[in-house]
Amino acid sequence: MITMLVLASLYFLPTLIAAHRGHGVAGVFLLNFFFGWTGIGWLALLFWALASQPRCIYYGAPYGPVVIERRWL
């Protein structure tokens, strides 16, 4: 049972990498499902998953230093 889990994880490794890197998972999964059994298809999908640009999330930051003043009345 553990062997099947390890083999399935290796088979869908390009899909797992693409999901982790923020790539479109549906396309990679379908291509991996139908063409992953060929060695060339699996290697091409692995290259595609690794070569894609990772997802970037930009957060706005204030300009200059942030100063918090506390005044006692």
Amino acid identity at 19? A
State yes or no: pLDDT of 73 exceeds 60: no
pLDDT (0 to 100) of residue 34? 92
Please state the rounded mean pLDDT for residues 41-60.
Answer: 79
Whether residue 15 lies inside any domain: the answer is yes
Please state the rounded mean pLDDT for residues 55-71.
Answer: 62
The structural domain count of the chain equals 1
pLDDT (0 to 100) of residue 27? 87
d(CA 60, CA 66): 13
**Cα atoms in the Cβ-side hemisphere of radius 13 Å centred on 12:** 15
Q: Are 16 and 28 in contact (CB under 8 A)?
A: no
d(CA 60, CA 44): 37
Q: Do you know the residue count of the chain?
A: 73
Whether residue 31 lies inside any domain: the answer is yes
Whether residue 56 lies inside any domain: the answer is no
pLDDT (0 to 100) of residue 72? 55
Whether residue 24 lies inside any domain: the answer is yes
Whether residue 67 lies inside any domain: the answer is no
Give the structural domain span for 26. Answer: 2-51
pLDDT tens digits for 4-48?
999 999 999 999 998 888 777 888 899 999 998 898 999 999 998
